[in-house]
Amino acid sequence: MPVYRITVSGVCLGQTIQNVFHVQRDTADFTLAAIAVKIRDSWCGLTFGFHTSSFAYNSVRVEDVTTNPTPNPATLSIAIAGSGTPTTPHVALCIILKFQTSFGGRTGRGRIYLGAPRSDWVANSVVSSGGVSFINSSMIPAITGAWLAGGTTGLRLVVAPKSDPTNFKDVINIALAPGIYVQRRRNIGVGI
């Protein structure tokens, strides 16, 4: 079955924040547009409570990276604003959710950056106790229930190398990295 590259974009204080991750179908036969709608509803909809109200998701792009010839990607414009306090310490700050597979080493893990954290969840360069509590008790279980194998979306998170997306590994665990980090910003907007 195909592997899909998902690019989720948002804007915070004029800065574009993008994340790329990969999913694969469990069983159902989804169109690219239907996958984009699932990402909007069951990814952006699960993570928006983490972001400040100055952040808003604005697009989802879905590409089939394993089928030849590659079909045209689907792009869905969306408008989902964060629901946290209105200020953020800095637009480049983020947390990292670590994707773990059953394989060790660099090829067995991935990550995603969630930028524009609520200011009340940043305390001395770490996630505050309220932020850790929300992420570990609400956000990660909701993402796990929806996006790991057998989840409610019919799609599952995978870690796939750029060089060979067909050599993917199923994500079996999602964990919060302990600190507050700087959002990686390489080639923002390229290809979107």
Q: Where are the alpha helices (DSSP H) in the chain?
A: 32-39, 45-47, 129-134, 140-147
Whether 190 is in a domain gets the answer: no
Domain annotation covers residue 191: no
- The H or E element that residue 7 is part of is strand 3-12
Say what the pLDDT of residue 23 is: 93
Is the residue at 112 inside a domain?
yes
pLDDT for residue 22: 92
CA distance 154 to 187: 31
Residue 192 confidence (pLDDT) = 37
Tell whether 147 is covered by a domain: yes
Distance CA 114, CA 47 (A): 8
What's the domain range around 153? 3-182
Quick check: is 177 in a domain? yes
Number of independent structural domains in the chain: 1
Nearest residue to 16 (alpha-carbon basis) of 73, 57, 60, 74: 57
Give a yes or no: residue 59 inside a domain: yes
pLDDT-flagged residues of the chain (< 70)? 27-28, 84-91, 184-192
pLDDT of amino acid 33 = 93
Establish if 44 belongs to a structural domain.
Answer: yes
| Predicted model pTM | 0.86
Supply the pLDDT for residue 156.
92
Residue 71 lies in a domain: yes
The answer to whether 160 and 65 are in contact (CB under 8 A) is yes
Euclidean distance between the first and final Cα of the chain, in Å?
25
